[in-house]
């Protein structure tokens, strides 16, 4: 079987699928070769084994601990990737993954005092790292606070019984759950908070709040991994973009990437890694000044023809797009 794209050279077979919550599934994959990755990293998945649609998912398993490579995916009704992975993929099917990517990891963190904070599906890299720390740094003092919508939405519910964790439910809190959302009061109860390294993953507003609060409480080592990139509101002034096909003019604030400009104006664009690695957001610029921070996956001929990776393209003025 030929790989769909050079970005996803790892073929893995679905061994089994486990339903974590009403809308979250974990796919356990068999890789017949050694697949190197670090706790907390993610991989691109070729959706429907196509070169045209790649999506990034956390590797929720833990190297040296987990029996399988796992992807834990929340189904989103209009999500091309999550719908396919959670509704159509079945045991025995093959998936194609990229090399592991990302720097949201704990294996090079020197501090033995950590606080791991997660909300919703942001728990996937947090659990990966929690297992790794238990296996390879058993002396570490690790505190975990996990925020969910309701008690039925606890991802890895059985496994959390093995590790100390504070569970917080926004709705219908039962025994064993704090009620509401993560608060300064809860954070203040964490022993030696200011001395800890804080690592968090979840929705952008949650992470912004966490960063502000823990820094106000004296934390100096803080790391975050955005589980999704929010789309900004469309602008009515600023940088001007003229798209030739289909013909349309739109705007974005100065300082926006080309990808942010396209997404905020609901222009069709594929984006997976958002880090200039996967090549999904390749876009042709006909004219205008811009700088780029990555040209990975682009050929010299494509660069000469004005192709850029939209996530890594920084407009310096108005642009005309193909």
Residue 232 lies in a domain: no
Write down the pLDDT at residue 3. 82
What confidence tier does 14 reach under pLDDT thresholds 50, 70, 90? very high
What confidence tier does 231 reach under pLDDT thresholds 50, 70, 90? low
Q: Tokens in use for 121?
A: 């599906």
- Based on the number of CB atoms within 10 Å of its own CB, is 79 exposed (0-12), middle (13-18) or buried (19 or more)? middle
Mean pLDDT over residues 195-223, rounded?
95
Higher pLDDT, 102 or 5: 102
- Same domain for 129 and 203? yes
pLDDT digits 0-9 by tens, 274-307: 778 778 899 999 999 999 999 988 999 999 999 9
Of 14, 199, 201, 12, the residue nearest 121 (C-alpha): 201
Write down the pLDDT at residue 225. 86
- Same domain for 167 and 245? no
- Based on the number of CB atoms within 10 Å of its own CB, is 272 exposed (0-12), middle (13-18) or buried (19 or more)? buried
DSSP H or E run through 95? strand 94-97
pLDDT digits 0-9 by tens, 233-286: 788 899 999 999 889 999 999 999 999 999 899 888 877 777 787 788 999 999
Q: Tokens in use for 135?
A: 């296996």
CA distance 306 to 220: 42
Residue 4 lies in a domain: no
Return the CATH number at 22: 2.40.30.10
Mean pLDDT over residues 59-77, rounded?
96
For the chain, what is the domain count? 3
Q: Tokens in use for 248?
A: 């349309």
The answer to whether 129 and 104 have CB atoms below 8 angstroms apart is no
What confidence tier does 60 reach under pLDDT thresholds 50, 70, 90? very high
Cα 307 versus chain centre, distance? 25
Find the domain containing 75 and state its range. 10-97
Cβ neighbours for 110, distance < 8 A, ≥ 6 positions apart: none
Residue 194 lies in a domain: yes
pLDDT at residue 229 tops 70: no
pLDDT at residue 42 tops 70: yes
Write down the pLDDT at residue 227. 55
Residue 3 lies in a domain: no
Write down the pLDDT at residue 226. 65
Mean pLDDT over residues 223-233, rounded?
69
Q: Tokens in use for 96?
A: 């194609």
- Same domain for 216 and 253? no
pLDDT digits 0-9 by tens, 126-172: 999 999 999 999 999 999 999 999 999 999 999 999 999 999 999 99
Residue 298 lies in a domain: yes
Share of the chain above pLDDT 90, in %: 79
Residue 74 lies in a domain: yes
Give backbone dihedrals phi and psi of 17, rounded to 5 degrees, phi first.
-130, 130
Return the CATH number at 180: 3.40.50.80
Give backbone dihedrals phi and psi of 216, rounded to 5 degrees, phi first.
-65, -25
- Same domain for 196 and 252? no
DSSP H or E run through 178? strand 177-179
pLDDT at residue 52 tops 80: no
Share of the chain above pLDDT 70, in %: 98
Q: Which strands sit side by side in the sheet containing 141-148, from one edge to the other?
A: 177-179, 166-169, 141-148, 113-119, 197-202, 221-226
Write down the pLDDT at residue 177. 97
């Amino acid at each position: 079987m030929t790989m769909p794209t050079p970005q996803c050279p790892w073929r893995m077979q679905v061994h089994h699928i486990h339903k974590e919550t009403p809308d979250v599934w974990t796919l356990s994959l068999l890789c017949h070769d050694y697949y190197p990755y670090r706790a907390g990293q993610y991989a691109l998945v070729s959706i429907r084994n196509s070169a045209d649609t790649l999506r990034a998912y956390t590797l929720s398993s833990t190297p040296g601990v987990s029996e399988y490579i796992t992807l834990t995916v929340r189904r989103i009704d209009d999500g091309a990737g999550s719908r396919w992975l959670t509704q159509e993929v079945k045991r025995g099917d093959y998936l194609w993954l990229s090399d592991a990517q990302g720097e949201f990891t704990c294996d090079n963190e020197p501090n033995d005092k950590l606080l791991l904070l997660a909300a919703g599906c942001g728990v996937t890299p947090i659990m990966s790292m929690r297992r790794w720390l238990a296996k390879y740094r058993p002396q570490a003092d690790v505190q975990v606070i996990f925020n969910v919508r309701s008690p039925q939405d606890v991802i890895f519910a059985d496994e959390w019984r093995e590790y100390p964790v504070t569970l917080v439910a926004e709705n219908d809190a039962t025994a064993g759950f704090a009620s509401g959302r993560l608060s300064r009061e809860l954070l203040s109860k964490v022993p030696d908070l200011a001395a800890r390294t804080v690592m968090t993953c979840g929705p952008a507003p949650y992470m912004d709040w966490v960063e502000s609060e823990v820094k106000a409480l004296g934390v100096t080592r803080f790391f975050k991994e955005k589980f999704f990139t929010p789309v900004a509101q469309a602008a009515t002034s600023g940088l001007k973009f003229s798209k030739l096909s289909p013909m349309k003019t739109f705007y974005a604030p100065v300082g926006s990437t080309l990808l942010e400009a396209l997404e905020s104006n609901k222009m069709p664009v594929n984006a997976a890694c958002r880090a200039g690695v996967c090549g999904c957001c390749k876009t042709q610029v006909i004219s205008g000044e811009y700088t780029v921070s990555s040209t990975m996956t682009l050929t010299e001929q494509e660069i000469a023809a004005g192709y850029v990776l939209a996530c890594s393209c920084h407009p310096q003025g108005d642009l005309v797009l193909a």
